[in-house]
């Protein structure tokens, strides 16, 4: 008996994407809701209540219960412990979200950082299928990196992959309090802001700057070149330390595809010196990556059967789902 | 019946350290020999012959055969494939050393990068006992880093841990052809050289510069500060990407202990901003780390029983030796 469905939620600062997925990660039913706001101190509890409500709505929509739930969130997340350490956007500190959700739902819950969940999905189902050492860099409002090492998601207690706050030497201040951070010149937000500062003209986001650069706007080219050179520098450092086989670039900025990826590739080729270049690829799963990664983790949590602790072994056992849940990308994003 | 001994060799550019170790990694007998030199093209074969000869000598000395042999070498090493990709000092390119040795010895052989082997030893037996996410940075003639992630040695096809060639922004040229490399200002060799260039006086190696700094020599202090700040920068980047729990610092420069470690710790505390500081520790195993790491890998190769392929599963199964081979540090270094 029993259902083969899992609930997968990607919680953002402004909205939550929620989907009921089958065992091949096909969408059975999906929802979207604005992220609930609450007083400081009540944020985690409020969002946990909201997530539980959304899972019940998904179950009603699908006409069947979810065997398990996977939740991906931004910020500093200790995936193994199931704790949301910090999120400026969501306003929570050290929230034991996995346990809070397992208590509300009564079924197994997996909890992960959104970019790590996205990276897992890209490595299992997307642009880096078949590789064990993978970096997924999401360049959106901020910049973060999900690392798969030896086929396992690596989180470093929540602090791994903070590539957006790596000092790449430009010397400008960052909102984090540091200087020289990649994010300060290369995030989609920074690209749009820096173009506006430079020209006095407002661009339609980072992709507006890309469009202007494609039309030959020298200011747009300059701003984008600083961003792609900076990303090249960060990928080079990642290469020196981790040497991933494949680096997948996604998020808002890389929706522009090869026009933005190619300069990164060229900067990198010119600076690697003795190291072979990693394969650079554009993400395939787009906005769905976080939700699909949460779904992969939920399938694992269902298999491990423990309501509140996919815990330390989760990434290991997720490996075994790769074969049974491998789907063609078109199945996934439909 | 049967021996419980393994042979462990740490091959350097100038000399080879070789030891017969028992199952608790205690030294039964040890040898040291200058590394054999050969014509270009014959270097790998010549060293393989020499290693096989040394193993036979160890066996004669111990009065018993080695069940397996572990060999650690410098350069670019693909540990899983057992291939020495490149070593400037040893003069070899793409040498299938593990197979060459297994053919000569007829018993299982493990083959690894020397700093990764040292890092494995520090994580199992030395300064980072009990931790799963560990970086071991060896600051000697060059600078390299052995990474243990989730309890497994990570090599990235031979290119992981090349922290000595990370661009930390000082803009000076490096022997590798790049600029800004950590190694160019912070290796033990660079510290001695830069002090000599600055003062016209010859220091007695990096430790001579440390002694001068301790006596208040402002030039020595300046050169060392550039080195320790640089190492701080590299550890910060490592923290942003991998977030190791413990960073172990070893090699010639860190023989000076806390006098050199403390400035790294202070630089790091001042620049981490939002990330907790990793635990910084001085290596405990000194010169023995590479040989002990080779011994750990040999024990694993013996357990897996395959003459030429500890292969992809080696670091995994090494985990299981941690309990049976855990030794107190005094047993190991005696």
Q: Show residues of chain B in contact with A159, CB under 8 Å.
A: 239-240, 243, 275-276
- What band does B233 get if pLDDT is binned at 50, 70 and 90? very high
Which of A93, A94, A156, A165 has the highest number of chain B CBs within 10 A, making it the mutation to test binding with B?
Answer: A156
**Which of residues B37 and B238 earns the better pLDDT score?**
B238
Nearest to B310, CA basis, from B159, B92, B155, B122: B155
What's the confidence (pLDDT) of residue A2? 56
Each residue's pLDDT tens digit, B119-132: 999 999 999 999 99
Report the alpha-carbon angle A154-A156-A159, nearest 5. 115
| A233–B contact, CB cutoff 8 A | yes
Cα A121 from Cα B101, distance rounded (Å)? 41
Q: Show residues of chain A in contact with B173, CB under 8 Å.
A: none
Task: Name the strand (E) or helix (H) holding A18.
Answer: strand A15-21
How far off is chain A from B98, nearest CA to CA, in Å? 21
- DSSP line for A199-251: HSPPPSHHHHHHHHHHTT-HHHHHHHHHHHHHHHHHHHHHHHHT--SEEEEES
The tokens of B152 are what?
Answer: 């497994």
Under 8 Å between Cβ of B138 and B296: no
Each residue's pLDDT tens digit, A77-90: 999 999 999 887 78
Number of CB atoms found within 10 A of residue A262's CB: 12
Q: How large is the average pLDDT for residues B289-302?
A: 96
Q: Show residues of chain A in contact with B279, CB under 8 Å.
A: none
Res. B322: pLDDT tops 70 = no
Res. B302: pLDDT tops 50 = yes
How far off is chain B from A280, nearest CA to CA, in Å? 16
| Cβ pair B178:A242 closer than 8 A | no
User: What is the Cα B331 distance to its own chain's centre?
Assistant: 20
Cα B109 from Cα B7, distance rounded (Å)? 9
Each residue's pLDDT tens digit, B157-195: 999 999 999 999 999 999 989 999 999 999 999 999 999
Tokens 């390299």 belong to B144
Which residue blocks in B188-272 are alpha helix, DSSP H? Answer: 188-199, 205-214, 218-241, 258-271
| B241–A contact, CB cutoff 8 A | yes
Res. B106: pLDDT tops 50 = yes
Tokens 């350490």 belong to A85
Cα A30 from Cα A287, distance rounded (Å)? 14
Each residue's pLDDT tens digit, A95-150: 999 999 999 999 999 999 999 999 999 999 999 999 999 999 999 989 999 999 99
- What band does A70 get if pLDDT is binned at 50, 70 and 90? very high
What's the confidence (pLDDT) of residue A307? 46
Report the alpha-carbon angle A177-A180-A184, nearest 5. 75
| Cβ pair A237:B160 closer than 8 A | no
Order the strands of the A152-154 sheet from edge to edge.
A152-154, A143-149, A134-139, A246-250, A279-282
What's the confidence (pLDDT) of residue B2? 56
| B166–A contact, CB cutoff 8 A | yes
| Cβ pair B240:A166 closer than 8 A | yes
How far off is chain B from A241, nearest CA to CA, in Å? 5
Dihedral angle computed from the Cα positions of residues A115, A117, A118 and A122, in that order, rounded to the nearest 10 degrees: 140
Res. A323: pLDDT tops 90 = no
How far off is chain B from A208, nearest CA to CA, in Å? 30
**Which of residues A92 and B250 earns the better pLDDT score?**
B250
User: What is the Cα B226 distance to its own chain's centre?
Assistant: 23
Number of CB atoms found within 10 A of residue A32's CB: 11
Q: Which domains does chain B have, with CATH numbers?
A: 6-119+287-333 (3.30.420.40), 130-283 (3.30.420.40)
Question: What is the average pLDDT value for chain B, to the nearest integer?
Answer: 89
Which of A113, A144, A240 has the highest number of chain B CBs within 10 A, making it the mutation to test binding with B?
Answer: A240
* Helix axes B218-241 and B258-271, enclosed angle (nearest 10): 50
Each residue's pLDDT tens digit, A19-33: 999 999 999 999 999
Q: How large is the average pLDDT for residues B268-293?
A: 93
| B270–A contact, CB cutoff 8 A | no
Res. B320: pLDDT tops 50 = no
Q: How large is the average pLDDT for residues A251-268?
A: 96
Report helix, strand or coil for B175.
Answer: coil
Q: Show residues of chain B in contact with A233, CB under 8 Å.
A: 167
Cα A90 from Cα B114, distance rounded (Å)? 45
**Which residues are B171's β-sheet partners?**
none
Each residue's pLDDT tens digit, B54-80: 999 999 999 999 999 999 999 999 999
Task: Show Cβ contacts of residue A324 under 8 Å, excluding neighbours closer than 6 positions.
Answer: A23
What's the confidence (pLDDT) of residue A203? 86
CB neighbour burial string for A89-106, b if at least 16 within 10 angstroms, e if fewer: bbbbbebbbbbbbbebbe
What's the confidence (pLDDT) of residue B23? 93
| A85–B contact, CB cutoff 8 A | no
Q: What are phi and psi of A321, to 5 degrees?
A: -80, -15
Nearest to A67, CA basis, from A291, A304, A290: A304
| Cα dist from B54 to B32, B39, B58, B101, whole Å | 9, 21, 6, 12
Report helix, strand or coil for B10.
Answer: strand
- What band does B89 get if pLDDT is binned at 50, 70 and 90? confident
Res. B22: pLDDT tops 50 = yes
Which of B159, B276, B312 has the highest number of chain A CBs within 10 A, making it the mutation to test binding with A?
Answer: B159
Lowest model confidence (mean pLDDT) among A183-192, A303-312, B309-318: B309-318
| Cβ pair B149:A150 closer than 8 A | yes
Which of B179, B241, B267 has the highest number of chain A CBs within 10 A, making it the mutation to test binding with A?
Answer: B241
| A147–B contact, CB cutoff 8 A | yes
| Cβ pair A152:B150 closer than 8 A | yes
**Which of residues B42 and B147 earns the better pLDDT score?**
B147
- Maximum CA extent, chain B: 63
CB neighbour burial string for B310-332, b if at least 16 within 10 angstroms, e if fewer: bbeebbeebeebeeebebeeeeb
Q: Show residues of chain B in contact with A239, CB under 8 Å.
A: 159
Cα A4 from Cα A298, distance rounded (Å)? 11
How far off is chain B from A2, nearest CA to CA, in Å? 34
What's the confidence (pLDDT) of residue A131? 97
Res. B332: pLDDT tops 60 = no
Number of CB atoms found within 10 A of residue B39's CB: 8
| Cα dist from B242 to A113, A235, A241, B308, whole Å | 15, 13, 8, 31
Res. A321: pLDDT tops 70 = no
Using CB atoms, which residue from B150, B161, B273 is nearest to A154? Answer: B150
Cα A123 from Cα A156, distance rounded (Å)? 19
| Cβ pair B149:A145 closer than 8 A | no
| A150–B contact, CB cutoff 8 A | yes
How far off is chain B from A236, nearest CA to CA, in Å? 8
| B173–A contact, CB cutoff 8 A | no
The tokens of A275 are what?
Answer: 């190291």
| A1–B contact, CB cutoff 8 A | no
Q: What are phi and psi of A31, to 5 degrees?
A: -140, 160
The tokens of B51 are what?
Answer: 């290693």
Using CB atoms, which residue from A162, A167, A241 is nearest to B275? Answer: A162
Nearest to B285, CA basis, from B327, B244, B317: B327
Each residue's pLDDT tens digit, A124-136: 999 999 999 999 9
| B243–A contact, CB cutoff 8 A | yes
Q: Show residues of chain A in contact with B240, CB under 8 Å.
A: 159, 162-163, 165-166
What's the confidence (pLDDT) of residue A320? 34
Cα B100 from Cα B67, distance rounded (Å)? 17
Cα B68 from Cα B7, distance rounded (Å)? 6
Res. A11: pLDDT tops 70 = yes
The tokens of A171 are what?
Answer: 């010397």
| B233–A contact, CB cutoff 8 A | yes
| Cα dist from B16 to A25, A126, B19, B87, B98, whole Å | 54, 46, 10, 15, 17
The tokens of B178 are what?
Answer: 């790049």
How far off is chain A from B173, nearest CA to CA, in Å? 12
**Which of residues A172 and B277 earns the better pLDDT score?**
A172
| Cβ pair B165:A273 closer than 8 A | yes
Q: What are phi and psi of A20, to 5 degrees?
A: -95, 125
Each residue's pLDDT tens digit, A206-243: 999 999 999 999 999 999 999 999 999 999 999 999 99
What's the confidence (pLDDT) of residue B148? 97
């Amino acid at each position: 008996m029993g259902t083969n469905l899992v609930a997968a939620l990607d919680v953002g600062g402004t909205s939550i994407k929620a989907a009921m997925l089958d065992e091949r990660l096909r969408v059975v039913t999906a929802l979207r809701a604005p992220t609930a706001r609450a007083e400081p101190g009540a944020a985690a509890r409020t969002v946990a209540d909201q997530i539980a409500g959304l899972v019940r709505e998904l179950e009603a929509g699908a006409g069947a219960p979810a065997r398990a739930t996977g939740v991906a969130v931004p910020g500093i997340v200790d995936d193994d412990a199931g704790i949301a350490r910090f999120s400026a956007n969501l306003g929570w500190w050290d929230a034991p979200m996995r346990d809070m959700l397992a208590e509300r739902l009564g079924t197994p819950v997996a909890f992960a950082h959104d970019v790590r969940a996205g990276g897992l999905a890209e490595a299992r189902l997307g642009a880096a299928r078949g590789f064990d050492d993978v970096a997924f860099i999401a360049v959106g409002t901020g910049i973060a990196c999900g690392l798969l090492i030896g086929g396992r998601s690596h989180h470093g207690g929540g602090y791994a992959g903070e590539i957006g706050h790596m000092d790449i030497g430009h010397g400008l201040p960052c909102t984090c309090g540091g200087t020289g951070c990649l994010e300060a010149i290369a995030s989609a937000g920074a690209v749009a802001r820096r173009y506006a500062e430079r020209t006095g003209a407002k661009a339609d986001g980072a992709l507006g700057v890309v469009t202007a650069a494609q039309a030959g706007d020298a200011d747009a080219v300059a701003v984008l070149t600083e961003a792609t050179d900076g990303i090249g520098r960060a990928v080079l450092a990642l290469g020196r330390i981790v040497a991933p086989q494949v680096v997948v670039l996604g998020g808002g900025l890389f929706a522009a595809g090869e026009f933005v990826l190619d300069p990164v590739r060229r900067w990198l080729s010119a600076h690697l010196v003795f190291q072979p270049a990693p394969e650079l690829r554009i993400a395939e799963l787009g906005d769905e990556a976080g939700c699909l990664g949460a779904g992969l983790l939920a399938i694992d949590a269902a298999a491990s059967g423990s309501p509140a602790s996919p815990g330390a072994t989760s990434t290991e056992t997720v490996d075994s789902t790769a074969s049974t849940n491998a789907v063609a990308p078109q199945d996934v994003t439909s």
